[in-house]
A = this chain, B = another copy of it.
Amino acid sequence: MKHSYLNNLPLDEAIRRYETHLKAVGFAGSAETVRVTDACGRILKSAAYAQICAPHYNASAMDGVAVQAARTFGASERTPVTLLPSDYTVVDTGDPIPEGCDAVIMVEDLIEAGDDRLQILSAAYPWQNVRQVGEDLCMGDMIAPSGTLLTPALCGALLAGGITEIEVYKQPTVGVIPTGDEIVAPTSNPGKGEIIEFNSTVFKGMLAGYGAQTKVYPITRDKKEEIRAAVETALRDCDIVLVSAGSSAGRDDYTSEIIDALGTVLVHGIAIKPGKPAVLGEACGKPVVGMPGYPVSAIVIMEEIVSRLVAMYFGVPALRRETVRATLTKKIVSSLKYTEYVRVSLGRIGGRLSAAPLSRGAGVITSFTKADGLLVVAQNCEGIEAGEEVEIRLQRPLSEIENTLIVTGSHDPLIDEAADFLARRGAPFRVCSTHVGSMGAIYAVRDGLAHMGGIHLLDTETGEYNRPYIEKYIPDGHAVAVKGVGRTQGLMVQKGNPHGIQTFADLRRVRYVNRQRGAGTRILCDYLLKQNGIAPDEIDGYRNEEFTHTAVAALIAAGNADAGLGIYSAAKMYDLDFIPICKETYEFLVDKQYLDDPMIQAFFDVLRSAEFQARLQELGGYTED
């Protein structure tokens, strides 16, 4: 088991080293000539100058008549001037001003005086209502400097300036070579040990955003010679080459060796997390990057390294994501060994923008689909306290983030379903839901970090749901519980109940999967354990914690555990057997000041609708209260 050395270069130093080398070997984009009508989104190779004036002749700015201004002098309400047919020419907007004329009188200001004569009540001044030559653009004026991204309006200005073809940078082609014996093309039915190759699709989408095209090569096995041949092919066809996975130092990780054989490895290992095992290399004057296999790591390398390569190709400044300042909701601990990229969700609640850290697993692509922004924690920083103001790089337009209903609390699929109903009704906002358990909902609503959250908290002394908790934790009464649904909780077990589980006490015999602390279902579990006189330590897997009902169901279906507590709809989805335990009251805790908010009202409108109730019946295990 070979374990080769990786360096751990600070990101800035890695970029500096890489850019310096690429400049030295002459890496830069080439040009092509395109029609301006097709040039939108392209980048100018050199400055564009107007070839003609716009307008290129004196044009009428109105519908009316062209005259010589001097012929109208003295006209007033008391002393109208009459224009003979020989004094004027009828012009429409855009018509040339005839020789000898230098003004246009609007049709609205003309009085017909018979025999094609016209009367006017005020004098025209020279060049009135005339778009003089060059009003918009003068021949020789620079329309845009080198490196300008051609917007729709700029393409219009180029055409107005008489430019029909223009030299722009070619769109670089980025070759992506997926590698790995375990990697398979996208499928809905992968075998055990087969990993669906989706990073190339993520890269293709990101590269399109950077202005580059992508050529995805077939999946290459973990054979050095095969990968090397694929890299050589890609170097012939493409401007930049990405070798997907195989950038670490494991036994099958050949990327670094191959680049070394074909060219130069500048950097192997960057002090960032995720993203550390990247290889930055060059061969044939072209960048070759060994991408980490984990999707989140790869996305960080795309943003920090590959976007720069495309910018270098175009000779434009590196991509800058918009940033925003927000208050961190939860303490972050960070290593001094790495610059860390923490995905956050953002929410504007009552004027304050909050950033809530998401999962930090490098393998969790959904942490990026949910991310509204990235918090970059500097290498020399050990952590950031909750409540501190931090700078966030936006991954989503701020206007979208600001129009978001934040639902934080107990997991139930019905929240996603309601979000979908709202979207289909054309609601002008989106719903962002995070699963932090019922106690999480109480804290989030108490602290102004969410508009609302789902709760189902059993007060074990009274048997009552929710109210006792709200009174205890939000004594000032600024939040209220709004009717949600009734749900059936029970034990999920494998199909056919192979372990013959009948009661909660039977859990002593099997492997259990638990919910996280603070979850309403966890509180129910602890209550049931106590009621049955079972100590937590007697339960195998008590410390195995999951965040959602579906995650618990998935582990039971996969055989990682034999039983778990959860709602009926999750058991049904995974075709598990279900032993009902109790019916509970799932409500929404809402900050009172938002009860009239149109977003909240639209949410509950959906919840109360007949169509939504029908959907709940389909999911199963719900009652109206």
Mark A residues whose CB is within 8 Å of B. Answer: 1, 3, 36-37, 40-41, 46-47, 51-59, 61, 63, 90, 92-96, 102, 107-108, 126-127, 131-148, 151-157, 159-160, 162-164, 180, 182, 186-190, 192-193, 195-206, 208-209, 248, 250-252, 293, 295, 299, 315-318, 320-323, 361, 363-366, 368-369, 371, 397-400, 403, 413, 416-417, 419-420, 422-424, 426-431, 541, 544, 548, 550-551, 553-555, 557-558, 560, 570, 573-574
User: A157 contacts which of B59, B182, B365 (Cβ < 8 Å)?
Assistant: B365
Assembled-state Cα–Cα distance A144/B314 (Å): 34
A152: contacting residue among B196, B209, B316, B541, CB under 8 A: B209
Distance in angstroms from A86 CB to nearest chain B CB is: 18
A127 touches B544 (CB 8 A): yes
Contact status A186-B164, CB under 8 Å? yes
Measured in the bound complex, the distance between the Cα atoms of B361 and A186 in whole Å is: 54
Q: Is the CB of A164 within 8 A of B188?
A: yes
Sorted nearest first, the 3 A-B pairs with minimum C-beta distance are A152-B205, A40-B205, A134-B554
Within the complex, the shortest CB–CB distance from A421 to chain B, in Å, comes to 9
How far in angstroms is the closest Cβ of chain B from A88?
12
Give the distance to chain B from A501, nearest Cβ to Cβ, in Å.
20
- Give complex CA distance A316, B560 in Å: 41
Q: Does A188 lie within 8 Å of B52, measured CB to CB?
A: yes
Bound state CA distance, A154 and B364, in angstroms? Answer: 12
Q: Is the CB–CB distance between B142 and A416 below 8 Å?
A: yes
Q: Is the CB of A208 within 8 A of B40?
A: yes
Kindly identify which residue among B46, B134, B252, B299 contacts A551, using a CB–CB cutoff of 8 Å. B134
5 contacts between A and B (CB under 8 A): A37-B204, A57-B193, A92-B250, A144-B369, A148-B423
Q: Is the CB of B159 within 8 A of A198?
A: yes
User: CA A531 – CA B430 in complex, angstroms?
Assistant: 70
* From B47, B142, B202, contact of A153 by CB (8 A): B202
With A36-B201, A157-B369, A160-B196 known as contacts, the answer to whether A208 contacts B140 (CB < 8 A) is no
B403 and A320 contacting across the interface, CB-CB below 8 Å: yes
Chain B residues closer than 8 Å to A57, beta-carbon distance: 192-193, 558
Q: Are A554 and B139 in contact (CB under 8 A)?
A: yes
Q: Which of B1, B94, B138, B198 is within 8 Å of A554, CB to CB?
A: B138
Measured in the bound complex, the distance between the Cα atoms of B160 and A369 in whole Å is 12
Considering the complex, give the chain B residue whose CB is closest to the CB of A133. Answer: B558
Q: Tell whether A180 pairs with B94 under 8 Å between CB atoms, given A202-B156, A366-B157.
A: yes
Contact between B134 and A550, CB atoms less than 8 A apart = yes
* B residues near A573, Cβ cutoff 8 Å: 139-140
Q: Are B295 and A156 in contact (CB under 8 A)?
A: yes
Which among A144, A198, A371 has the greatest number of chain B C-beta atoms within 10 A? Answer: A198
Cα(A137)–Cα(B548), bound, Å: 11
Question: Do A136 and B365 have beta carbons less than 8 Å apart?
Answer: yes
Please tell me if the beta carbons of B558 and A322 are within 8 angstroms of each other in the complex.
no
Residues of chain B with a CB closer than 8 A to A190's CB = 52, 56, 162
Q: Known: A146-B423, A180-B94. Contact between A53 and B204, CB under 8 A?
A: no
Q: Are A58 and B424 in contact (CB under 8 A)?
A: no
Specify which chain B residues have a CB less than 8 angstroms from the CB of A139 in the assembled complex.
550, 554, 573-574
Asked if A205 and B41 sit within 8 Å, CB to CB, the answer is yes
Complex alpha-carbon distance, A360 and B248, angstroms? 58
Q: How far is the CA of A45 from the CA of B396 in the complex (A)?
A: 20
Q: Are A198 and B156 in touch, CB under 8 angstroms?
A: yes
| Given A63-B248, A145-B422; 19 other pairs, CB 8 A cutoff | A1-B63, A1-B107, A36-B201, A41-B208, A57-B193, A63-B251, A126-B541, A133-B555, A134-B550, A136-B364, A139-B550, A142-B416, A155-B201, A156-B198, A156-B369, A159-B201, A162-B190, A164-B188, A317-B429
- A364 to B186, alpha carbons, bound, how many Å? 50
Closest to A343 in B: B153
Inside 8 A of A431's CB, which chain B residues have their CB? 145
CB-defined contacts of A199 to chain B, threshold 8 Å: 156
Q: Tell me whether A322 and B398 are in contact in the complex, defined as CB-CB below 8 angstroms, given that A153-B299, A182-B94 are known contacts.
A: yes
Q: Which of B58, B93, B144, B159 contacts A560 (CB 8 A)?
A: B58
B250 adjacent to A135 (CB under 8 Å): no
Given contacts A180-B94, A182-B94, A365-B157, A138 and B204 within 8 Å (CB-CB): no
Contacts of A250 in B (CB 8 A): 63, 92-93
Expressed in whole angstroms, the Cα–Cα distance for A182 and B47 within the complex equals: 30
